[in-house]
Amino acid sequence: MIPLITHTPRLTLIAASRALLTAELHKPQYFPVLLGAAMPANWPPGDYNRDAMEYFLEKLSEGGRTAAGWYNWYALLNAAGDVPRTLVGSGGFTGPPDATGLVELGYSIAADWRGQGLATELVAGLVQQAAATGLVHRLVAHTQPENLISQKVLLANGFESSGTDVNGQLRFERAVEPAPVLLG
C-alpha cells in the first residue's frame, strides 16, 4: 500500500479518490468541502480538464485499491497568514509503472498561483512520492518546446532532456532512487 498524502515545504499533496473526482465532476459545490481547501478562481488548470478527470475516475474505478496513488494528485497550498489552505494545482502519473519501472508524470498550476515556484515544488513532491513506492525506477515527462517554464521546472527537479517524441513534444527523464528505509 503506497502513501496517499505527501508533504513538501509549502504543499500538501493528496491522491485523488473516486469520491473527490466524482464531486469535482458532478457536484462541484461539494468538492472544496471534501478537499478541505479553498478553490482558485480559474479551476481546472492547463491540461487537467474534464477529459482527464473522467479518465482518472475510470482508472480508479477499474483498479480499486491497487490504482490509488497512481493517477491524479491535488496540490494544496498550506494555510499561511490570511491565505487559507488553497487548491493551487494538479499533478500525478498516467498510471502504475510498466515492467521496467517507468512512469510518466504531468502537472499544472492554477493561473493565479503561477510564478511562485509551486510547480517546481509539486514536481519535487511527485518525485518523492514515486521514490516512496519503491516501484518506480525512471520518470518521464513531456512538454511543448515553447513552454520554457515547464522545462525549467523539470530541469530543477533533476530531469534531463532526452529528445523529442513523435508529437513534437520535448521528452525529459530522470532516474528515481528508492526512498531510504528508516529503522527505528
In the predicted model, is pLDDT for residue 183 greater than 70?
Answer: no
Largest CA distance in the chain: 49
> What's the pTM value of the predicted model, to 2 decimals?
0.93
Grid cell, residue 58, equals 475510470
Number of domains in the chain: 1
So what's the pLDDT on residue 146?
96
Q: Give the Cα separation of 86 and 145 in Å (integer).
A: 30
Which residue in 107, 170, 103, 119 sits closest to 142, CA to CA? 170
Contact 136, 14 (CB under 8 A): no
Domain residue limits at 135: 5-175
| Residue-level pLDDT at 3 | 77
Output b/e per residue, 98-133; b: 16+ Cβ within 10 A.
eeebebbbbbbbbeebbeeebbbbbbbbbbbbbbbb
Q: Is the model's pLDDT at 178 over the cut of 80?
A: no
Across 91-117, average pLDDT: 96
The dihedral through the CA atoms of 150, 16, 63, 102 has a sign that is positive
- 80 Cβ neighbours under 8 A, 6+ residues apart: 10
Q: Looking at this protein, which amino acid is placed at residue 169? A: Q
Give a yes or no: residue 54 inside a domain.
yes
| pLDDT of 47 above 60 | yes
CATH, residue 39: 3.40.630.30
pLDDT, tens only, 26-39: 999 999 999 999 99
Whether 182 maps to a domain, the answer reads no
Whole-Å CA distances, 33 to 5, 24, 45, 86: 17, 11, 19, 11
Q: What is the pLDDT of residues 147-171, one digit of tens each?
A: 999 999 999 999 999 999 989 999 9
Residue 180: inside a domain, yes or no?
Answer: no
Position 89 in a domain: yes
Q: Residues of the chain with pLDDT > 90: what percent? A: 89
Within-domain flag for 184: no
Confidence of residue 145 (pLDDT cuts 50, 70, 90): very high
